[in-house]
A = this chain, B = another copy of it.
Amino acid sequence: MVLNEEICKSNIARMAAKAKAAQVIFRPHFKTHQSREIGEWFRACGVDKITVSSLNMAMKFAEWGWNDITVAFPVNCLEQEKINALASKIRLNLLLAHSEGTRQLAECLKYPVGVYLGVDTGYHRDGVDANNYQKIDRIIDIVAPDVNMKFEGFITHAGHTYNARSKQEILQIHKDNLRMLKNIKERYISRYPQLKISLGDTPSCSLADRFGVADEIRPGNFVFYDVTQMRIGSCEWYNIAMAVKCPVVDINRDRNEVVIYGGGVHFSKDRIDREANRPLYGLVAENHTDYWGNIIPGVELVSLSQEHGIIHATDKFLDHLHVGDIVTVLPIHSCMTADLMKTYHMNDERIAIHI
């Protein structure tokens, strides 16, 4: 896994500048890179608040000096020991998605935490329906009298932007999202004048310049971007900051196929579903000495088993390819690939994921 430091730092700087211009808090999601060193690149851009997706990640980043962390995953009180250990040391924010989980948290907390109520504005994964004020009130009524839970506001992840097909569609989802969040803010602001609205998907944060009612943005994937983001219009190909260099181990000219050492244990089996049962697992870019160049048309990673990948290639690409060569694959989903590959190579340097 090769990381282009320049592109990565420029992705970070651009998003930090956008948040500043829009006067929203920038609390990037660190689940994408999970790296101490890349975390420091954010710190250099003025970031001191972060988002993670597990308590284990929160514990690691706390160890590395981050002391304002939101765990953007519905609270799981089976991990109460980790919650209390963190809450005793840092400013910890947790996500409430259900009244049962909220009651359990009230019972197990020994130290103060901030809590955000997770609202569903259309992604339909987790959280309370943004229009269901009865359910929202039920959770707030548990939070309000509790000495250890401080109500911070509402959090949402409009993950349905990942399924969009165009910039226009992403911006429409973003607009709808902001409208629903505005209704919520208006309803609760008099009771909680300090309440914050936090949103966080990379497509919206990449394409929108205005965040309306939102006080905070939490994008994560933008640090590397990937083929999915490029295809839906969140980024251009030259914003993709990481790729995997894979050895060619077999070539089948009859089927226009290349077998690479690079499978599901390297890329994950995340994929883009296309028409007619043709999943896409990655695209191939030109090899440049240390990094990579343009995406090569018609050369696609179309199948993965545990360690093997199958690339379907053009005759032109195959003309100059040999077993033992390296092909550069831009992954479909950089978060999953980074989680599996664990070591970023940059020229002669290596930085590791330690989580």
Binding site for B on A (CB under 8 A): 31, 53-54, 73-78, 97-98, 100-101, 104, 124-127, 129, 159, 247, 249-252, 254-255, 257, 259, 261, 264-265, 268-271, 273, 277, 303, 305-308, 310, 322-324, 326, 335-336, 339-340
Q: Which one of B100, B247, B251 contacts A324 once the chains associate, using CB atoms below 8 Å?
A: B100
| CB–CB A98/B250 < 8 A | yes
Which residue of the partner chain B has the closest CB to A53?
B307
Neighbouring B residues of A77 by C-beta, 8 Å? 324
Q: 9 A-B Cβ contacts within 8 A?
A: A54-B307, A73-B307, A74-B259, A78-B324, A98-B249, A98-B251, A100-B251, A125-B303, A159-B305
Give Cα distance in the complex from A53 to B261, angstroms: 10
* In the complex with contacts A305-B159, A324-B104, A124-B255 CB distance below 8 A: yes
| CB–CB A268/B259 < 8 A | no
Which residue of the partner chain B has the closest CB to A57?
B307
Closest CB-CB distance, A305 to chain B, in whole Å? 7
| CB–CB A101/B250 < 8 A | yes
| CB–CB A249/B323 < 8 A | no
| CB–CB B126/A249 < 8 A | yes
| CB–CB B259/A264 < 8 A | no
Neighbouring B residues of A31 by C-beta, 8 Å? 306-307
Neighbouring B residues of A254 by C-beta, 8 Å? 129
| CB–CB B125/A339 < 8 A | no
Which residue of the partner chain B has the closest CB to A120?
B252
Which residue of the partner chain B has the closest CB to A271?
B269
Q: Which one of B247, B249, B269, B271 contacts A336 once the chains associate, using CB atoms below 8 Å?
A: B269
Neighbouring B residues of A310 by C-beta, 8 Å? 125
Neighbouring B residues of A54 by C-beta, 8 Å? 307
